[in-house]
Amino acid sequence: MKWIRYVCLFGVIMLLVGCGDKEMQDVKIGEVTRSIFYAPLYAAIEEGFFEEEGLNIELSTIPGGDKTMTALLSDGIDIGLIGAETSIYVAGQNPNDAVVNFAQLTQTDGTFLVAREDIENFDWTMLKGSTFLGQRVGGMPQMAGEFVLKGHDIDPHKDLTLIQNIDFANIANAFASGTGDFVQLFEPTASIFEQQGNGKIVASFGEELGHIPYTVFMTKESKFKNDKEMIESFTKALYKAQNWVYEQSAADVAKSIAPYFEDTDLALIEKVVTRYRDQQSYATDPIIDAEEFQNLLNVMTEAGVLDYDAKYEELVNRSFADEVVK
């Protein structure tokens, strides 16, 4: 009867193996751009934090906040990684299925002011009378940029020549070709410009503006209500990654996210990660804070693009973020 014991033992082993298998849920994420600014998201994928929570992430880059939002509203993606201002625009149109901001990824502006040459003892008033190559009208980078300029008593539409009619993808090339005295750039383009001798970072819009829910994860209200387990698991994995990117060395973070930037030198990735960590651009937790959200509304109000009374309580649901941080 020894064979019976072997069969029973084999059955128990197979049962235990089967119990160890966790059913994975596919989740489609649409990011508005590919950027080292989003390092915690890539780390969460590469370090297996999403997998630990039973989620299989399908990440796609959908250039442009409007296009990413369209994909979200049409169920092309489950979660969008976009500027929070996009959800505010949508809410003003009273959609049938509202968009909910539930977790924060970045908490500062991610752009830098680049001059053609290094400026010793830089002062923002040096921009007066210059030609400034900014971002597109209505986008968060441009609104934040103008808000910072006004904070230094610079009227961006009177005190300098402001160029805003160049597509996002072509702004860096336009500056490299000789357009403008100053330009507002994201990383790693700003650091690449320094390497190539095309410009020098002289100031950070993120440091000037302070904390703001710059890039957040959002989903439709129906998805938030009907797939709570997925949203909670997603938020848990994100929080693990947010802790991880600050606990590990910049070199280790760079190595982790390097597969997402195959054409970028590893040393440059590390440099950019260090710069963003030093100014705490990566959110330290997924909570979208009410005070920070009000800073965003202030920027939009100053820019003249907010034509209704946007309510934090209607646009943000931090229930899962609060829970995982506890």
Residues 88 and 232 in one domain: yes
What CATH number does residue 139 fall under?
3.40.190.10
| HSE toward the beta carbon, residue 177, CA cutoff 13 A | 8
Residues 93 and 225 in one domain: yes
Domain edge (last residue) among 182, 209, 236? 209
Residues 137 and 90 in one domain: no
266-278 vs 189-196: helix crossing angle, rounded to 10: 120
Residues 115 and 178 in one domain: yes
In a domain, 8, yes or no: no
Beta carbons within 8 Å of 63's beta carbon, 6+ residues apart: 32, 33, 168, 169
> Beta 25-31 vs 79-83: how paired, if at all?
parallel
Domain edge (last residue) among 184, 209, 234? 209
Phi, psi of 101 (to 5 degrees): -85, 120
Residues 286 and 250 in one domain: yes
Residue pLDDT tens, the chain, 326 long: 444 454 444 454 444 444 445 689 999 999 999 999 999 999 999 999 999 999 999 999 999 889 999 999 999 999 999 999 999 999 998 888 999 999 999 999 999 999 999 999 999 999 999 999 988 777 888 999 999 999 999 999 999 999 988 887 789 999 999 999 999 999 999 999 999 999 999 999 999 999 999 999 999 999 999 999 999 999 999 999 999 999 999 999 999 999 999 989 999 999 999 999 999 999 999 999 999 999 999 999 999 999 899 999 999 999 999 999 99
Residues 46 and 191 in one domain: no
Residues 216 and 320 in one domain: yes
> Could you write out the DSSP letters of every residue in 54-84?
TEEEEEEE--SHHHHHHHHHTTS-SEEEEEH
In a domain, 17, yes or no: no
Residues 316 and 216 in one domain: yes
Amino acid identity at 71: A
For residue 29, what are the domain limits?
25-108+212-325
Contact 148, 182 (CB under 8 A): no
In a domain, 1, yes or no: no
In a domain, 9, yes or no: no
In a domain, 127, yes or no: yes
In a domain, 4, yes or no: no
Identify the pLDDT of residue 135: 86
Contact 300, 91 (CB under 8 A): no
Amino acid identity at 186: F
Contact 222, 241 (CB under 8 A): no
Tokens of 24: 């994975």
In a domain, 274, yes or no: yes
* Number of domains the chain is built from: 2
pTM of the model: 0.89
Domain edge (last residue) among 165, 188, 209? 209
Single out the residue of 128, 239, 255, 249 nearest to residue 182, CA to CA: 128
Identify the pLDDT of residue 136: 78
Residues 166 and 198 in one domain: yes
Contacts 24+ apart (CB under 8 A), 72-75: 72/30, 72/99, 72/218, 72/219, 72/220, 73/97, 73/99, 73/220
Residues 228 and 97 in one domain: yes
Residues 151 and 201 in one domain: yes
